[in-house]
Amino acid sequence: MLPKKVEKILNEQIQKEDYSSQLYLAMASWAENRGMGGVAEWLYAQSEEEREHMLKLVRFINERDGVAVIPAMDKPPTDFENIRALFDKVLEHEQYISASIHDIVTVCMEERDFATQNWIQWFVNEQIEEESSVRVIIDKLKLLGDKNIYMFDRDIMSMRGEEKESEA
Ligand code: FEO
């Protein structure tokens, strides 16, 4: 049985992962409309991953005899200043998500829910990967500068491929 405080904070995380999925979907659509097919694909794939994170939480709460609540969705922004500003926002958002995962670990420890504390470690590790992959993208953008967005757009999916290979 999940302690009530753990159930509550896991449900809050469902909402955050769901919002992440919507945010990256909105970003993907923005990029696609500006001819950046590679960036759009990266963001569409990221949006799918966030949905998987949300589903993981839903299933875990229900398996542990809690009640997962599917939240209403906040509308994500529809416009972004430029591609660098967009990825800065992705990094800022992932840092916010990492902090909220760490809050879950803290509540698990306070409630002595060691099963959930152990389970949530997957998310702790996933956040290290997610923040690091966005930092690699931002570093590449810094190197290429505004004039080489075409090259960046062409390369971004192979950067994702490299990350996934190194995780396997
Ligand atoms: Fe599910 Fe990108 O955090």
* Side-chain-side CA neighbours of residue 75 (13 Å): 3
CATH number of 4-167: 1.20.1260.10
Instruction: Look at 69 and 160; give whichever has higher pLDDT.
Output: 69
Q: How many CB atoms lie within 10 A of CB 102?
A: 13
Q: How many CB atoms lie within 10 A of CB 18?
A: 22
For the Cβ of 130 lying below 6 angstroms from any atom of ligand 1, the answer is yes
For the Cβ of 18 lying below 6 angstroms from any atom of ligand 1, the answer is no
Instruction: Look at 158 and 162; give whichever has higher pLDDT.
Output: 158
Span 46-93, pLDDT tens digits = 999 999 999 999 999 999 999 999 999 899 999 999 999 999 999 999
Q: What percent of the chain has pLDDT over 70?
A: 95
Segments making up each domain of the chain, as ranges: 4-167
Q: Is the pLDDT of residue 164 over 70?
A: no
Nearest CA to ligand 1 atom 1: 50
DSSP string, 100-144: HHHHHHHHHHHTT-HHHHHHTHHHHHHHHHHHHHHHHHHHHHHHH
